[in-house]
Amino acid sequence: MAQITLIEAVTQALAYEMAHDDSVVVLGEDVGVNGGVFRATQGLQEKFGELRVLDTPLDETTIAGVTVGLAVQGMKPVAEAQFEGFIYPMMEQIACHAARMRNRTRGRLTVPAVWRAPWGGGIRAPEHHSEANEHLFTNIPGLRVVMPSSPARAYGLLLAAIRDPDPVMFFEPKRIYRQYKEEVPDDGEALPLDVCFVLRDGTDVTLVTWGAQVKEALEAADALAADGISAEVIDVATLTPLDFDTIAESVQKTGRCVIVHEAPKTAGFGAEIAARVAEECLYDLLAPVERVTGFDTHIPLFRLEMKYLPSVERVVDAAKRTLAAS
Residues that bind another protein (CB under 8 A): 25, 51-52, 54, 56-57, 59, 61-62, 64-75, 77, 89, 92-93, 96-97, 102-110, 141-142, 164-166, 194, 241-245
Comparing CA positions, the residue from 102, 113, 99, 193 lying closest to residue 146 is 193
In angstroms, give the least distance from the CB of 15 to another protein: 18
In angstroms, give the least distance from the CB of 197 to another protein: 16
d(CA 131, CA 120): 5
In angstroms, give the least distance from the CB of 61 to another protein: 5
* DSSP category for residue 304: T
Judged by CB, which is closer to another protein: 100, or 321? Answer: 100
d(CA 287, CA 172): 32
In angstroms, give the least distance from the CB of 104 to another protein: 5
Give CA 302 to chain center in angstroms.
22
Comparing CA positions, the residue from 278, 230, 239 lying closest to residue 262 is 239
In angstroms, give the least distance from the CB of 96 to another protein: 5
Check if 97 is active-site: no
- Exposure string of 94-118, with b = 16+ CB inside 10 Å and e = fewer, is bbebbbbbbeeeeeeebbbbbbbbb
Prior bond to 126 cis, omega within 30? Answer: no
DSSP result, 62-117:
HHHHHHHHHHHTT-EEEEE-SSGGG-GGGHHHIIIIITTHHHHTTTSS----EEEE
Q: SS in 3 state form for 12-39?
A: HHHHHHHHHCCCEEEEECCCCCCCCCCC
Catalytic site residue from 20, 97, 128, 129: 129
Comparing CA positions, the residue from 71, 151, 82 lying closest to residue 114 is 71
In angstroms, give the least distance from the CB of 67 to another protein: 6
Give bridge partners of residue 116 from the DSSP assignment: 80, 170
DSSP result, 106-162:
TTSS----EEEEEE-S-S---TTSS---THHHHTSTT-EEE---SHHHHHHHHHHHH
Residues known to be catalytic: 129
